[in-house]
C-alpha cells in the first residue's frame, strides 16, 4: 500500500517529466482507437453485405446502391487498417525514444531512493507502479475517446447513406481489433521494460556520484 501511495504521489511530483510521454501515448491511443474502430466494422460489414443482397428481394437500383456502400466500406476499412498499424509502428518507436530519455533523467531519483534505504526491489516497484498507473490511464482514455469519435463518424456516414446500415453492430467483434488493442498494450510495456533494463544494468551507489 505504501508503494502504491508513493507512486501516485510521484506522478504529481514528476508531471514535468511526463509532459512528452503521456501526450505521445494519448495521441497514439486516440488514433489507434479511431482507425481500429472504423476499420473492423467496415470490413466485416462489407464482407457480410453480399450475402444480404442475395437473400433479399430487392430492385436493381437498391442492389447497386448497396454495392456502392459495401465498396466504400471495404475501401475505408482497408485504409483505416493500414493507418492503424502505421500509427502503432511509429508510436512504438517514438515511445521507446521518449521513455529512454525520461528514464535516464529518473536515474538520479533512483540514487536518492537507494541512499535513504530503499532496496532495489522497492525502487523498481515504486517506479513500475508510477509508470503503469500514468501510462494505463492515458492509454485507456485515448482508446475510449477514439472509439467515441469513430462511432460518431460511422453514424454520420450511415445517416448520409454512404455506409451500410447495421455497421455499428460489428464494432468490437473482430480479431483485427483485438490484435490492435493488444499491440497498443504492448506499447504501454515499452517504458516499463526500459526501466527494468536500466535498473538491472545500473549500480545504484554510482548514480549520485555521476550527478556530482
Q: What is the pLDDT of residues 74-111, one digit of tens each?
A: 888 888 888 888 888 888 888 888 888 888 777 777 77
For residues 54 and 44, which has the higher predicted lDDT (pLDDT)? 44
Q: How many domains does the chain have?
A: 1
Residue 55 pLDDT exceeds 60: no
Count of H-run helices and E-run strands, the chain: 6, 0
pLDDT in tens, 160-198: 878 877 777 767 655 666 777 777 777 777 887 877 777
Q: Can you give the pLDDT at residue 149? A: 92
Structural domain boundaries enclosing 94: 2-211
Confidence category of residue 199, pLDDT binned at 50, 70, 90: confident
pLDDT at residue 53, as a whole number: 47
Mean predicted lDDT score pLDDT of the chain:
76
Provide mean pLDDT across the span 120-144.
Answer: 83
Q: What is the DSSP letter of 162?
A: S
Q: Comparing C-alpha atoms, which of 191, 198, 7 is closest to residue 99?
A: 191
- pLDDT attached to residue 84: 86
pLDDT of residue 145: 92
Cell 488493442 -> residue:
181
Tens of pLDDT along 3-20?
566 666 666 666 677 788
Torsion sign (Cα): 97, 99, 105, 107: negative
Amino acid at each position: 500500500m505504501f508503494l502504491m501511495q508513493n507512486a501516485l504521489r510521484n506522478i504529481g511530483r514528476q508531471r514535468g517529466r511526463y509532459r512528452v510521454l503521456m501526450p505521445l501515448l494519448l495521441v497514439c491511443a486516440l488514433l489507434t482507437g479511431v482507425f481500429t474502430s472504423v476499420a473492423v466494422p467496415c470490413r466485416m460489414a462489407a464482407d457480410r453485405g453480399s450475402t444480404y443482397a442475395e437473400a433479399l428481394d430487392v430492385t436493381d437500383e437498391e442492389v447497386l446502391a448497396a454495392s456502392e456502400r459495401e465498396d466504400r466500406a471495404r475501401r475505408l476499412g482497408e485504409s483505416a487498417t493500414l493507418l492503424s498499424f502505421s500509427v502503432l509502428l511509429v508510436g512504438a518507436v517514438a515511445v521507446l525514444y521518449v521513455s529512454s530519455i525520461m528514464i535516464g533523467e529518473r536515474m538520479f531519483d533512483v540514487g536518492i531512493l537507494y541512499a535513504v534505504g530503499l532496496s532495489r526491489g522497492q525502487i523498481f516497484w515504486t517506479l513500475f507502479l508510477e509508470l503503469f498507473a500514468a501510462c494505463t490511464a492515458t492509454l485507456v482514455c485515448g482508446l475510449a475517446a477514439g472509439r467515441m469519435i469513430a462511432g460518431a463518424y460511422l453514424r454520420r456516414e450511415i445517416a448520409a447513406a454512404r455506409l451500410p446500415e447495421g455497421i455499428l453492430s460489428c464494432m468490437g467483434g473482430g480479431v483485427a481489433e483485438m490484435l490492435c488493442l493488444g499491440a497498443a498494450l504492448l506499447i504501454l510495456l515499452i517504458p516499463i521494460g526500459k526501466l527494468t533494463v536500466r535498473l538491472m544494468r545500473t549500480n545504484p551507489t554510482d548514480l549520485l556520484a555521476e550527478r556530482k
